[in-house]
Amino acid sequence: MADNIETVAVKGWAWDIATDIYFPPDFDESKVYPTIVSGHPTGSCKAQTSGNVYGSALAQAGFVVAAFDASFQGDSGGDPRSVEDPGFRTSDFSFVIDYLVNLPYVDADNIGVLAICGGAGYGVAATKIDRRIKALGTVVGSNVGRLMREGFSQYDPMGMLEAVAAQRTAEARGQAQVINDLLPPSVDAAKQAGITDIDIVEATEYYKTPRGQAPGGKTSFNFARQAALADWDAYDRVEVFLTQPLCIVIGDKVGAFASQRLSMELYGRAASKDKQLVVVEGASHYDLYDQPGPTGVALDNLVPFYRKHLG
């Protein structure tokens, strides 16, 4: 264990899920700790905001935190790479919990989830069906299935599905994969392309500069494997199945990735009896990834939320 972090290999479907476990200060393996599973944004990895910012801070607050790389992404297994599949990404949470409940220092009755941006949709989907999850927190949560039917497909999901089908056939016949980067290569390139949306510009500044760059953060979709997202919705039947306590954190600056609109929708629809919506004034989507002021406000709300509901 180095610097209170241990990297482990969690058994998934047929490959390992790379997971960093963050430990509280003065960790004592003979004690039992409430534990949080932290899910990263779409096209991101555990070395970015889900681990190094929120995972580290929650561990400092006394929790064991498991930040993992999604299947087909980062240091986790799965082939082909850069697949963003909602079924696999949802089940990753439960595989990580399977691992955690066998650790003597994890309180198996007090496991929560934190998930960020697109990862929050998968956190919602996992929490609906895995009753071992006792509390859910989201930060700038989005619903990638909804975005795929909207801006990610240029509001033409059927046209996108036709193109995906053609590409999958081409690859089956030996042609090369198409891996699409979700972002411009640099902030300057975004400006030259006339891109002004705050979410796209700030995402580029985060992911394409030393501020947020990490080897596993590819910000890419494998085009031939993205069809499943067009028919998926993270919020399907949340009125029935999402009953656990819920804490939703967003900024008040509106951008293309729609975390304000989609998070507010989740807040309104979820069956949770104990739910709270935290709006961080003056904060953008990407301010809540790593900027000390906004993330500090988020944690000032998330830490007591988890302490209340995870014991």
Task: Reply yes or no on whether the pLDDT at 19 is more than 70.
Answer: yes
Q: What CATH number should be reported for the domain holding residue 274?
A: 3.40.50.1820
Q: Which domain holds residue 294?
A: 5-148+232-310
Q: Is residue 158 part of a domain?
A: no
Instruction: Report CA 186 to chain centroid distance, whole Å.
Output: 23
pLDDT tens digits, 80-132: 999 999 999 999 999 999 999 999 999 999 999 999 999 999 999 999 999 99
Q: Is residue 243 part of a domain?
A: yes
Domain count, the chain: 1
Task: Reply yes or no on whether the pLDDT at 2 is more than 60.
Answer: no
Q: What integer pLDDT is reported at residue 277 of this predicted model?
A: 98
Q: What integer pLDDT is reported at residue 3 of this predicted model?
A: 65
Q: Is residue 122 part of a domain?
A: yes
> Looking at residues 15-36, what average pLDDT do you find?
97
Q: Is residue 278 part of a domain?
A: yes
> Looking at residues 24-52, what average pLDDT do you find?
97
pLDDT tens digits, 214-252: 999 999 999 999 999 999 999 999 999 999 999 999 999
Q: Is residue 156 part of a domain?
A: no
Q: What integer pLDDT is reported at residue 311 of this predicted model?
A: 83
Report the C-alpha gap between 174 and 172 in whole angstroms: 5
> Looking at residues 154-181, what average pLDDT do you find?
97
Report the C-alpha gap between 93 and 3 in whole angstroms: 24
Average pLDDT for the chain: 97
What are 295's two structure tokens?
A: 């993330």
Q: Is residue 184 part of a domain?
A: no
Q: Is residue 136 part of a domain?
A: yes
Collapsing DSSP states into helix, strand and coil, what is residue 305?
helix
What pLDDT band is residue 193 in, cutting at 50, 70 and 90?
very high
Residue 10 zone, left/alpha/beta (φ > 0; ψ -120 to 50; rest): beta
Q: Is residue 199 part of a domain?
A: no
Phi, psi (rounded to 5 degrees) for 192: -65, -30
